[in-house]
């Protein structure tokens, strides 16, 4: 397994609608394993393939926050929301592609998601709490949407300018 570099906004690959995965290959399984390793190292609780420059519909998650509890890594190919609750919840979101920037985002509190697992089997489950927020945040990534797209144009522009400055400084280092 190896760590993959995480793309930083603005980057056209982060605004791209990703292609469905047509066949599960060993390369895609290795990518999923690398994404999990990259996510844990960041640290984060989710990561989408476009964030590591691969424009395929694959996300990984592990929203278990209690260090004493067993981790629960999840690999979801072609995830899709098939039901969303009327109830909404608000959470201060961040993003590994928009470091150190946080803003409140409102989303459906519960979602039912269908996906293909790492073993090729069709799965469907109900997500609530932080898992629901994370899976929606990651599926947004597959559709080229970032959490800042839910903010006002002015706030989005301020964050984008900060990221452009960060990228200039990193390029000099």
Residue 62, classed as helix, strand or coil, is coil
Position 95 contacts ligand K2U (CB under 6 A): yes
The one segment of 66-74, 87-95, 107-115, 163-171 that binds ligand K2U by CB under 6 A: 87-95
Taking alpha carbons only, the member of 61, 70, 80 closest to residue 131 is 61
- If one asks whether residue 97 binds ligand K2U (CB under 6 A), the answer comes out as yes
Could you tell which of ligand K2U, Zn ion, none binds residue 110, using a CB distance below 5 to 8 A set by kind?
A: none
Per CB under 6 A, the list member of 4, 9, 107, 137 interacting with ligand K2U is: 137
Query: Which of these, 75, 35, 37, 73, lies nearest to 52 by C-alpha position?
Result: 35
Tokens of 60: 């990984």
Q: Residue 85 in contact with residue 2, Cβ under 8 Å? A: no
Residue from 18, 133, 139, 148 in contact with ligand K2U (CB under 6 A): 133
Q: Is 79 in the site for ligand K2U (CB under 6 A)?
A: no
Is 138 assigned a catalytic role?
yes
Nearer to ligand K2U, 134 or 159 (CB): 134
- Of 37, 86, 138, 169, which is the active-site residue? 138
Q: How far is CA 30 from CA 34, 102, 113, 118, in A?
A: 6, 31, 23, 10
Report residue 113 as tokens: 């998601």
Among 34, 62, 110, 138, indicate the residue that binds ligand K2U (CB under 6 A). 138
Q: 36 to 95, contacts with Zn ion by CB under 5 A?
A: 95
Q: Which stretch binds ligand K2U (CB under 6 A): 26-34, 70-78, 112-120, 133-141?
A: 133-141
Give every strand in the sheet of 111-116, ordered side by side.
Answer: 46-48, 58-61, 74-84, 111-116, 122-127
Which residues are identified as catalytic?
138
Binding site for Zn ion (CB under 5 A): 95
């Amino acid at each position: 397994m190896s760590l993959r570099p995480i793309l930083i906004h603005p980057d056209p690959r982060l605004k791209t609608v990703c292609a469905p995965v047509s066949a599960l290959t060993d390369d895609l399984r290795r990518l999923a394993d690398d994404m999990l390793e990259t996510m844990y190292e960041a640290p984060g609780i989710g990561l989408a393939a476009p964030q590591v420059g691969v424009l395929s519909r694959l996300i990984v998650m592990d929203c278990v926050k209690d260090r004493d509890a067993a981790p629960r890594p999840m690999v979801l190919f072609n995830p899709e929301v098939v039901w969303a609750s009327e109830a909404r919840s608000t959470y201060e979101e961040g993003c590994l592609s928009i470091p150190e920037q946080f803003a409140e985002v409102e989303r459906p509190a519960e979602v039912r998601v269908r996906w293909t697992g790492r073993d090729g089997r069709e799965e469907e489950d109900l997500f609530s709490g932080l898992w629901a927020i994370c899976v929606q945040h990651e599926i947004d990534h597959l559709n080229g949407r970032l959490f800042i797209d839910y903010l006002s144009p002015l706030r989005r522009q301020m964050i984008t300018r900060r990221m452009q400055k960060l990228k200039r400084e990193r390029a000099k280092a």
